[in-house]
Structure 1
Amino acid sequence: MIIIGEKLNSTLKSIRPAMESYDAAAIQELAKKQYEAGAMYIDVNAGMFHEEEPERLEWLINTVQEVLDAPFSIDSPNPVAIERALKANKNSKPIINSITDEKERFNSIMPLAIEYKTGIIALCMDDNGMPETTKDRVVIAERLIEKLTKEGMDLSDIYIDPMVRPVGTGSHYGTVAIETIRQVKKEFPGVHIACGLSNISFGIPARKLMNQAFLIAAMAAGMDGAILDPLDKKLMSFVYAGEALLGIDEFCMNYLTKFREGALEV
């Protein structure tokens, strides 16, 4: 499971003050904690700063890579901010988070992915907005994969985001996301799936419980990546258990290792 640590996000009230005050120590500590907890990529987002986003995103990249060599997920729809971050990056191959099939956004971000040889998260969304049905999302995913590979990207560098929407605002959104994952992975087994896991529970109580349930259902459908909170020990325990149950973790070796390390919460 490809874990993308979500905590360095300017929309989170817990971390935004540190970003506002350029508190490098707090940013670095949170990045290290996520990595130590199992994050393979560190997502960095400065979108709440609007006009200052390029400068702030560059600062986040420089600040984190002073103490950590983990790759980044550069989280922005702004091509200027993305390029500023890519130029600053000295760590290993990053992911751009994200592109869509909206014409303007695709045409402005795609060249950056090619020039800087990045991975890319591609959202099942186009100029008509967020599709309601599995069929429409799969059509967009197919189109994005075709266009991205035509530009020279390998399937293994593409991360399809099925557009997880809150189940509290539509009872069909859970199954739509799960079935989109299933169909995309069936048709394109070489691509990855990377969704914003906690979107499923927005606006409802006991969010962690809903996130855990959705995680297992999505993994069973073929999800192999997620943007999530790696500091949620219970959620990470479900990741390890899910991998063992789905035959991804041969002979449960990683699960047993995590148990011995005290990384599982039961």
Structure 2
Amino acid sequence: MKLIGENLNIMSKKYGKALKERDAKTLQELAVIEAEAGMDYIDLNIGPAGKTGEEMMSWLVPVIHEVVDLPLALDTSNVKAIEAGLKAHKKGRAMINSIMVRQERMDALLPLAKEYDAEFIGLLWGPEGMPRDENERGALCAELLFRASDLGIVPERIYIDPIQTPVNVQQIQIMSALAFMDMFADMAPGCRSTIGLSNVSNGAPEHLRPILNQVMLILWKRRGMTSAIVDTFDKKLHQIAKGKRPELEALVAKVEDGEEIDMASLSKEEQDFVKTAKVILGHTLYSDSWLEV
């Protein structure tokens, strides 16, 4: 599973400040940490950056590539900033994060993906916003793939994102996104997939965010998810992504399949994974104290 490091983000107190102040050293230190942690891409999230985006991305891409050779995901709603980043990107194949299934976004960004031979994340967010279920996700996916094919963009350049929602408010949406992935391989042959993983734990207490992210990753992996946008600093998450915790993956699969589990025979870590899987899958209601029950 490929990993896209999420931490170089304008919303981060430390790295957002470094972006605004053009503090190259702090951002380069993070880039090296991301590379050493095994990230396959580094996401450059500069936010909307309406007035400064073009200049910021033109500066940022070479700054990061001074210290690492990883391809970069250009993450902004500013189309001119995306194009500036594509022009500046010289190491590997750039990624556009992301292209929504909206006419104006596809018209603006799909031609850039074609011109610069970039990969892109196709975010299944349509003209009416969040799709209601897996069938609407399928319709949006089909529309995006048709438009990309029309421009001669090969499926291997496309990563479809079915949208991760927070578990504490939208458990039903999580299940419909998982159901979409069950039909993804047949619907989009040759395409890849990705997910903004940390969204599942948005709004949860900070100490509970890692285990929510880790269990959610196992559920996505089980459905063939090929990449994820993740926290660079979560080492256990990286182990799961690389298949180094098969016992935890097997436990979560048993929960999903409704198998009997002898909780008394499990370690505290294993018990926590079982409890968290039940919360994400809607077997139990979300509360901030689910691990204490």
Unaligned runs of 5+ in 1: 247-265
Amino acid at match of 1:46: I
| Paired position in structure 1 for 2:230 | 228
The amino acid that maps onto 2:119 is G
Kindly provide the CA deviation profile for residues 149-201 of structure 1, in whole angstroms up to 9, marking residues without a partner as x.
22111111100000111121222122122112222123224211111000111
Whichever residue aligns with residue 60 of structure 1, its letter is L
Counterpart of 2:234, as a letter, is D
Q: Does 1:120 align with 2:131?
A: no
Query: Is the alpha carbon distance of 1:169 and 1:75 closer, same or farther for their aligned partners in structure 2, counting shifts above 3 Å?
Result: same
Report the RMSD for the aligned CA atoms in angstroms.
Answer: 1.9
Structure 1 residues 7-26: aligned runs within 5 Å: 7-26=7-26
Between 3-12 and 180-189, report the one with greater CA deviation: 180-189
**Residue of structure 1 in register with 2:218 after alignment:** 216
Gap runs ≥5 in structure 2: 250-269, 271-293
* Mapped contact 1:198–1:228 kept (Cα < 8 A): yes
Distance 1:110 1:174 in 2: 28
Contact 2:49/2:78, CA 8 A, preserved across alignment? no
Equivalent-residue separation in structure 1 for 2:194 and 2:39 (angstroms)? 13
- TM-score, scaled relative to structure 2: 0.80
1:48 CA drift (Å) = 5.3
Q: How many residue pairs were aligned? A: 248
Rounded to whole Å, the distance in 2 between the matches of 1:48 and 1:107 is: 18
Tell me the CA shift for residue 126 of structure 1.
1.5
Identity %: 36
Partner of 1:160: 160
Per-residue CA deviation, residues 212-241 of structure 1 (Å, 9 max, x unaligned), is 110000110110111111321111111123
User: For the residues of structure 1 that align with 2:30 and 2:110, how far apart are their CA atoms?
Assistant: 30
C-alpha spacing 1:242/1:188, structure 2 compared with 1 (3 Å): farther
Distance 2:13 2:137 in 1: 31
The structure 1 residue matched to 2:209, chosen from 207, 210, 230, is 207
Query: Match for 2:155: what amino acid?
Result: L
Superposed, 1:106-117 pairs within 5 Å as 106-117=106-117
Corresponding residue number in structure 1 for 2:5 = 5
Q: How does 1:88-167 map to 2 (within 5 A)?
A: 88-167=88-167
Q: Distance in 2 between matches of 1:62 and 1:208?
A: 32
Helix, strand or coil at the partner of 1:140? helix
Q: Does structure 2 conserve the Cα–Cα contact (< 8 Å) formed by 1:197 and 1:226?
A: yes
Who is 1:69 aligned against?
69
Could you tell me which residue of structure 2 aligns to residue 83 of structure 1?
A: 83
Q: Which 10-residue stretch deviates more, 5-14 or 100-109?
A: 5-14
In the aligned structure 2, how far is the partner of 1:145 from the partner of 1:244? 34
Q: Is the contact between residue 48 and residue 76 of structure 2 (CA under 8 Å) also seen in structure 1?
A: no
| TM-score, normalization by structure 1 | 0.88
Q: How far apart, CA to CA, are the structure 2 residues paired with 1:116 and 1:49? A: 22
Alpha-carbon distance in 2 for matches of 1:86, 1:48: 17
- As a proportion of its length, which structure holds more strand? 1
d(CA) in 2 for partners of 1:114, 1:202:
34
Q: Which runs of 4+ in 1 moved over 3 A?
A: 242-246
Max Rg structure: 2
Q: CA deviation at 1:243?
A: 8.4
Q: Which residue of 1 aligns with 2:183?
A: 183
Aligned to 2:47: 47
Q: Quick check: 2:50–2:78 contact (8 Å CA) kept in 1?
A: no
State which of 236, 239, 245 in structure 2 corresponds to 1:237: 239
For 2:223 and 2:39, the matched residues in 1 are separated by 22
Which AA in structure 1 matches 2:120?
Answer: I
